Structure 1
Amino acid sequence: MTFIAKTFYDLRATTLEGDSIDFNVFRGRVVLIENVLQNRYPHRLVVLGFPCNQFGYQENCTNGEILNCLKHVRPGGGYDPGFTIFEKCDVNGANTHPVFSYLKDKLPYPEDDPVSLIQDPKFLVWSPISRNDISWNFEKFLIAPEGEPVKRYSRKFETIAIEPDIQRLLRLTKN
């Protein structure tokens, strides 16, 4: 059985640079977790990127190659992410990273698409398969300042459309 953290702040993950980050550092801040993002955000919003190769093997770079790939290939043009990118991990199956075990336990399906799961079985490259699995890259999880996951968005939900939810949570963090 997969360990599921009791709170978001019990979690930790390792960045591409090899630094282990204790999620307690994000207390009191709004957190958005997604595979890839290309925007910069205010200080009170933390964006965390977790590459994954479980969806059509689209992230086949090694951890050491990911930043160079972003900079020179996809999206390229000297792109430098303005957010923390963690080591590539599994988000589904027997080796699910604890961050995603926790998030999927708290938010079992995307609010905007509660029924979709991968339709083509050749893309189901993990086991066991569960209904709360992440169905493809770019699913997003929004975490409130007190560490409670508040929304899960499908891959089809554009990141820019999350802004009203982010703004609402940011207003809650003002003293």
Structure 2
Amino acid sequence: MSLAEDLMLDDDLHPIDLVETLASDHQWEFDRVTDNQIAMAVEGMWRTYSLTLAWSPSDETLRLICTFEMDPPEHRLVDVYDAVNRCNDQVWVGAFTYWVEQKLMVWRYGLSLSGGATAGPDQINHMISQAITSCERFYPAFQLVAWADRTPLDAMGIAMAEAYGRA
């Protein structure tokens, strides 16, 4: 039995404890920021992604954000936002947003665990995998829009149907 499976036997399992165990099992670099938050780095094909998972007991939601740095020229921001919208039209779990002040492209997802529901290792692995897969899939399109002066519609043609990485 794996450590993650051992932890699942505990009815009072804190979601961030489970994330920490999974990060350790995957040998991802991580930092337990607070009792309710963990930050980690996950290597993809295009780059290393920064992930933060945070547990909000007040609304019983496990939030995930996956970011990568992106600082497009100001004159390309309208097209970057258009590309973000086009990407979001193609995904069903989570969504992209661009944080201009922080110069970060962000993938966000919230898992509701209301009523005392718990997340299992497979569910958390799936959350993380979806974040990395989506970032890997659309990273080239964002780069083409920002730096190659391609139109968002044209750049979306490069977005792979499915990306494979080391998440």
Alignment TM-score > 0.5, same fold: no
**More strand per residue: 1 or 2?**
2
Give the structure with the larger helix fraction. Answer: 2
Structure with the bigger RCO (C-alpha within 8 Å, sep 6+) is 1
TM-score calculated relative to the size of structure 2: 0.27
Pick the structure with greater CA Rg. Answer: 2
